[in-house]
A and B are shown apart, each in its own frame.
Chain A
């Protein structure tokens, strides 16, 4: 089955700087890659996703890149703000497989 690895496990950046979180996946059939943000005591909230027919997707300060050949994808957050502090999870699946396989999470701390 699918295995998703996520790095780093913790990340601290100064407010205003950029943050990058990387994930690798094992199943070459995977073609859908969502990113979730989870705040303390809450459920995961979808922040951006990408399908394998595109290499990059942007939404304001957030972008995701996908390298299908290398089987890795990354989350980029620019101009970080204190409210970006949370745990971020990447996940992978393929159309027809209803199960999302998650990475182990990255705790992002924005230092004011």
Chain B
């Protein structure tokens, strides 16, 4: 059982650039979540997918953010026109079928916007 993987692990970009992160969930998990974590805080929910359907989005997910899970396997999170306030750790988690609420997290992608 290979855990959740995320790439890249670190990303430094200039303000105004677009960035894209990838998450590969645990293979048999049909639910995938994105969270954002700023320094000294707990993770905050952004959005989640059941298979390829995006079922919930947080108010934190502005129009500059878009997430996809086209084939119900890996997911991408894109941030357009990055701002310094986007600097954070972006965490992906996955969980199994309904009734198994346990979410398993990946190592995260740390984004720094200069």
Contacts and interface: CB of A to CB of B under 8 A. Distances in A.
A45 B93 CA distance: 10
Nearest to A49: B102
Contacts of A99: 45, 48, 56, 58
A91 B44 CA distance: 11
A6 B40 CA distance: 13
Sorting the interface of chain A by its residue count into under 10, 10 to 19, 20 to 34 or 35 or more gives 20 to 34
Contacts of A49: 102
A101 B45 contact: yes
Sorting the interface of chain B by its residue count into under 10, 10 to 19, 20 to 34 or 35 or more gives 20 to 34
Contact of A36 (B6, B55, B105, B110): B105
Given A95-B99, A98-B31, A105 B40 contact: yes
A49 B55 CA distance: 25
A100 B45 contact: yes
Contacts, number: 58
Contacts of B31: 98
B101 A32 contact: yes
A43 interface: yes
Contact of A46 (B43, B91, B102, B107): B102
Contacts of A4: 42
A44 interface: yes
Interface of A: 4, 6, 32, 34, 36, 41-46, 49, 89, 91, 93, 95, 98-105
Given A43-B108, A91-B42, A102-B44, 7 more contacts: A43-B106, A89-B42, A93-B101, A98-B56, A99-B58, A101-B45, A104-B40
Report, nearest first, the 4 A-B pairs whose CB atoms are least far apart: A102-B42, A43-B105, A99-B45, A43-B107
